[in-house]
Amino acid sequence: MKITVFSAQPYDRTFLDDALERAGDRLTTVELIYQQATLSPQTAVLAQGSDAVCVFVNDRLDAPVLERLAALRVRAIFLRCAGFNNVDVAAATRLGFFVARVPAYSPEAVAEHTLALVMTLNRHTHRAWLRVRDGNFALDGLLGITLCGKTVGIVGAGRIGLATARIFHGIGCRVLGYNPTPVPELARLGEQVTLDALLRESDIVSLHCPLADDTHHMINRDTLARMKRGAMLVNTSRGALVDTRAVVDALKSRHLGFLAIDVYEQEENLFFHDRSSSIIDDDMFQLLLTFPNVLVTGHQGFFTVEAMREIAHVTLDNVRCFVDGGECGNRVIDA
């Protein structure tokens, strides 16, 4: 069985090859064909001759791409990620694709990155590092707040949201959680509240819900206005949860105090690639980078050794289920 692995970076190859070797006899018929290209209508042809594709967060699996893959006789899609907002599930169902994902590889990895972003932005360690290297030991501009005792609002109290809640609870923050369904663990860590109460009371609002029709631009002009003046917004979930234009305006009006993002609405043209020698043709992104109170990382929340191992291991487990025809609990579309 041949699988074209799209958006393959050197580290993907390392971890997938290692997992394949560990799988031993169970997956001897599997051949992984690595492609650095992102899956799109133009690159779908690279899957020619393969039975399946293996994709990541910025690979596009909309109806036209899925139809092209189906025409090439590709039958399965293995996502190396948890979110599947990039897959047109209705089209994939209609075309009979087997679609499986890695639902949880290391919620703590993303939660810890969230903490890193908050700590960095609050205490300006990224700016301090640059200053000290330049022999500048002045503290002006590096003033932070003590996080202990502050209120942190977790939007989406699932695996990552709860791992984040545990961390902030651990450093003495008051934790508020918003989730459409009851989450009993929140009572131990803080309180489950309405979105309105969370926005009104939180010093830090951290997004951990999936991107779907009802969460698209959930942070917009209206919800930003309901946040505390000077609060910090953190998004390590999906870029389109946030209306970037509205956030820029809220930063300019000084209503939003800080912004930390690991994801960006138009990130597929930027993230995971070295663009240091190119002109970045995205005015909104470039504008964001000019604010001293904005911190951007390039979708690296998941990027730990443990998470990469787990992604590779579970992806190949999903492949084995497809090959053997066995039960697969990680299917995005039920058979």
- The DSSP bridge partners found for residue 53 are 4, 77
Closest distance of CB 88 from ligand NAI, Å: 17
Closest distance of CB 154 from ligand NAI, Å: 9
Among 4, 8, 97, 161, binds ligand NAI (CB under 6 A): 161
Are the C-beta atoms of residues 205 and 153 closer than 8 Å to each other? Answer: yes
A 10 A CB-CB count for 285 gives 17
Are the C-beta atoms of residues 16 and 42 closer than 8 Å to each other? Answer: no
Among 223, 237, 244, 330, binds ligand NAI (CB under 6 A): 237
Q: Does 298 bind ligand NAI (CB under 6 A)?
A: no
Among 181, 277, 278, 290, binds ligand NAI (CB under 6 A): 181
Of residues 262 through 291, those in contact with ligand NAI by CB under 6 A are 262-263
Q: Determine the Cα–Cα distance for residues 181 and 90; give it in Å rounded to an integer.
A: 25
Q: Does 159 bind ligand NAI (CB under 6 A)?
A: yes
Catalytic site includes residue 67: no
A 10 A CB-CB count for 63 gives 13
Number of residues that bind ligand NAI (CB under 6 A): 30
Q: Which of 250, 251, 276, 272 minimizes the C-alpha distance to 263?
A: 272
Among 47, 61, 82, 311, binds ligand NAI (CB under 6 A): 82
Closest distance of CB 311 from ligand NAI, Å: 10
Closest distance of CB 210 from ligand NAI, Å: 3
Residue number of the CB closest to ligand NAI reads: 158
Catalytic site includes residue 112: no
Candidates 60, 159, 238, 310; catalytic one: 238
Q: Does 144 bind ligand NAI (CB under 6 A)?
A: no
Determine the interface stretch with ligand NAI among 32-40, 151-159, 243-251, 267-275 (rule: CB under 6 A): 151-159
Closest distance of CB 104 from ligand NAI, Å: 5
Closest distance of CB 296 from ligand NAI, Å: 12
- The DSSP bridge partners found for residue 176 are 153, 191
Candidates 68, 265, 267, 310; catalytic one: 267
Q: Does 210 bind ligand NAI (CB under 6 A)?
A: yes
Among 66, 121, 160, 189, binds ligand NAI (CB under 6 A): 160
Are the C-beta atoms of residues 306 and 318 closer than 8 Å to each other? Answer: no
Q: Does 107 bind ligand NAI (CB under 6 A)?
A: yes
Among 1, 23, 64, 83, binds ligand NAI (CB under 6 A): 83
Q: Does 56 bind ligand NAI (CB under 6 A)?
A: no
Closest distance of CB 318 from ligand NAI, Å: 16
Determine the interface stretch with ligand NAI among 8-16, 119-127, 137-145, 152-160 (rule: CB under 6 A): 152-160
Q: What is the contact surface with ligand NAI in residues (CB under 6 A)?
A: 82-83, 104, 107, 110, 155-161, 178-181, 208-211, 214-215, 236-238, 262-263, 299, 301-302
Q: Which residues are identified as catalytic?
A: 238, 267
